[in-house]
Structure 1
Amino acid sequence: MLDDQEATRAKHGSGAVVVGIDGSASAVRAAVWAGAEARRRERPLRLVQVYTLPQVRAPIAVGTCEQVRAGLAERAEGWLSEARTAVLAESPGLTITTGAREWSPVAALIQESQHADLVVLGSRGLGGFTGLLVGSTAVSVVAHAHCPIVVVRGRMPQDPPPAAGPVVVGADGSSDSDGALAFACEEARLRSAGLTVVHTWSDVVADGVLRPHPFQDDAAEIDRVEHARLADQVRPWREKFPDLSIDLDVTRGRPVQALLERAEHAQLIVVGCRGRGGFTGMLLGSTSQALIVHSPCPVAVVRSPDEGGEETR
């Protein structure tokens, strides 16, 4: 029986790895990263540039408006060509398609995600994708996308993303983190890398509920119980990926701090859209913002399998 991704591919053809291009160096680095990812997945790469006609308060002549539109379209094609050249320099022979259009960047990326394996974004932007990773725009893309999204980051804004180290994934026992685990296991397999599964616990809260005796429970016993729960969640993935090295990392503390510390030596960090316990509200609060802004490696955000994206027309 086909899973959801395979059923989508059967209906629409092989899903591409899609990259949002905006003329920034960050987007070019994201495209190069995505090209290597497409090669590993044996998928084509699709480069997308979306531009919006600037709003002006004073009326302008129709001819002037059309000249601006033509200029934006020409610039978009130039940015796409630049990104394509950079990708082919690192991934020669990769099948690449491009698309430039006048529309809303968020709506365009959501629509592209309907038939994509993955949508990849740079960590800084300009042009049509300005501010894409800040505030409600990023939340909108992730909340309605039909596939995982990766934000490509390096240690410093101008640095390329790391290519060595384990894949790190946050897990909290929820079905949402099961989706992240599935994605992370496959990524680690494709990269011939190890997988580190991170789970945090708190003295005060357990499974989203206040502990009866906060700060009084035996920390060693809590750690043992949480480790056993994580082992139970990971067991099916050990069986599905018997050749994959999977390390369990259970620690007391805040999820964002634990994940950022492990990201220092990782090549990819993976989280779910929502969860419970330590990872509640991952994409709606400070944890997601911290990962997107401060992670020294790419961040993948994965929707749970039972969350369908909304159609964008």
Structure 2
Amino acid sequence: MTTAAAAAEQAEPEPVENRPVVVGLDGSPAALVALDWAAEEARTRGCGLELVYVHPGDRYALAVIDIAPQELADDIFDEALDRLASRGFGDLEVQTVLRFGIVPRVLLRESIGAPMLVVGRQGRGKLAELVLGSTALATAAHARVPVTVVPDTWEPGSTPRRRVLLGVDGSQRGESAVEYAFALAAARGAAIVAVHVISLPYAYPADRPLRSDVAHFERAAENVFDNSVHPWRTKYPNVEVTTATEYGHPAAILAEYAKDVDLAVIGGRGYGRVTGMLLGSIARSILRQMPVPVTVVRD
């Protein structure tokens, strides 16, 4: 029996968390867009929000800027609360928390035991890490809870598409993401679009394998779906699942599929002590390019 099959047989549906969804705020427009998504998620889950502003300094140090940390935090929280009220989320239970220290580290600590941490995808530029944003990168790489990174271009649709995009790579480290996606889809009455992307070796043409090798790649993809997806289809028979195999770079392919879904779910993967390597280069590329919120579920 495969690892996924054993997990599917033993897994029980997670109870709805009573703890609030944690949202990182910094006063930026990107963080406010993330707040919009988090508010809708909290309402769906039946929980509240914990808004966290981390001041990157010492509580007792002299302020470098004219505004004291508490005043700055109050301004950020007031703007967030006004936005929630204006968008119909004034009934949510909201906590505000001011902390001091290194932003990603504090957010990670605050999110322990929470159902989810939500951050904005910040930054523009040519360097990959700048485009993604250091806070989004570090939290997605290290969090012990699901982390949803919301692009600053995201806008809520008038009606949900009720489709979840799932990136499937067939690895054992990606099984937690598959489990999360199925449990989420079952709870929300959503369908899953499971996509496995094959990156061809450099010796092959850019977009397709040689005709003589197509059968080999197709069998490999079928094995990935059989081992990673099929056990969860058995566990959640009411979840509609569509599978697709594509050739190319995972980030570009998944970005195309993301145009017709509400949310994407991927695994973190990656090894090493360097922050970026802990997340994995493919996951980082996906986070940078996706037009919809992406939930990263680490093992």
Q: Is the 8 A contact 2:136 2:149 kept in 1?
A: no
Distance 1:39 1:83, change over 3 A: same
Correspondence for 1:122 among 107, 120, 123: 120
Distance 1:234 1:275, change over 3 A: farther
Residue aligned with 1:172, SS: coil
Residue aligned with 2:116, SS: strand
* Alignment partner, residue 189 of structure 1: 186
Residue aligned with 1:204, SS: coil
Q: Say yes or no: does 1:284 pair with 2:283.
A: no
Correspondence for 2:77 among 77, 80, 89: 80
Q: Say yes or no: does 1:172 pair with 2:169.
A: yes
Q: Is the 8 A contact 2:151 2:292 kept in 1?
A: yes
Q: Is the 8 A contact 2:167 2:254 kept in 1?
A: yes
* Alignment partner, residue 7 of structure 2: none
Q: CA deviation at 1:18?
A: 0.5
- Counting only pairs closer than 5 Å after superposition, residues 230-309 of structure 1 correspond to structure 2 as 230-274=225-269, 283-285=279-281, 287-304=282-299
* Alignment partner, residue 99 of structure 1: 97
Q: Is the 8 A contact 2:169 2:224 kept in 1?
A: no
* Alignment partner, residue 26 of structure 1: 30
Matches of 2:100 and 2:147, distance apart in 1: 22
Residue aligned with 1:218, SS: helix
Q: CA deviation at 1:291?
A: 2.3
- Counting only pairs closer than 5 Å after superposition, residues 182-221 of structure 1 correspond to structure 2 as 182-204=179-201, 217-221=212-216
Q: What stretches of structure 1 of length at least 5 have no aligned partner?
A: 55-61, 126-130, 206-213, 305-313
Residue aligned with 2:62, SS: helix
Q: Is the 8 A contact 2:117 2:148 kept in 1?
A: yes
Matched to 1:174, the amino acid is S
Matches of 1:203 and 1:295, distance apart in 2: 22
The RMSD of aligned alpha carbons is 3.4
Matches of 1:4 and 1:153, distance apart in 2: 29
Matches of 1:132 and 1:203, distance apart in 2: 26
Residue aligned with 2:279, SS: coil
Correspondence for 2:142 among 127, 141, 144: 144
Matches of 2:156 and 2:280, distance apart in 1: 25
Matched to 2:269, the amino acid is R
Matches of 1:69 and 1:103, distance apart in 2: 19
Q: Is the 8 A contact 2:21 2:42 kept in 1?
A: yes
Matched to 2:20, the amino acid is A
Q: Is the 8 A contact 1:47 1:97 kept in 2?
A: yes
Matched to 1:43, the amino acid is C
Count of aligned residue pairs for this structure pair:
271
Q: CA deviation at 1:300?
A: 1.0
* Alignment partner, residue 38 of structure 1: 42
Q: CA deviation at 1:222?
A: 2.2
Matches of 1:2 and 1:272, distance apart in 2: 18
Q: CA deviation at 1:132?
A: 9.8
Distance 1:69 1:118, change over 3 A: farther
* Alignment partner, residue 58 of structure 1: none
Matched to 2:263, the amino acid is L
Residue aligned with 2:160, SS: coil
Q: CA deviation at 1:262?
A: 0.7
Matched-pair identity in %: 31
Matches of 2:50 and 2:257, distance apart in 1: 31
* Alignment partner, residue 14 of structure 1: 18
* Alignment partner, residue 108 of structure 1: 106
Matches of 1:184 and 1:69, distance apart in 2: 46
Matched to 1:258, the amino acid is I
Distance 1:69 1:169, change over 3 A: farther
Distance 1:84 1:240, change over 3 A: farther
Distance 1:238 1:181, change over 3 A: same
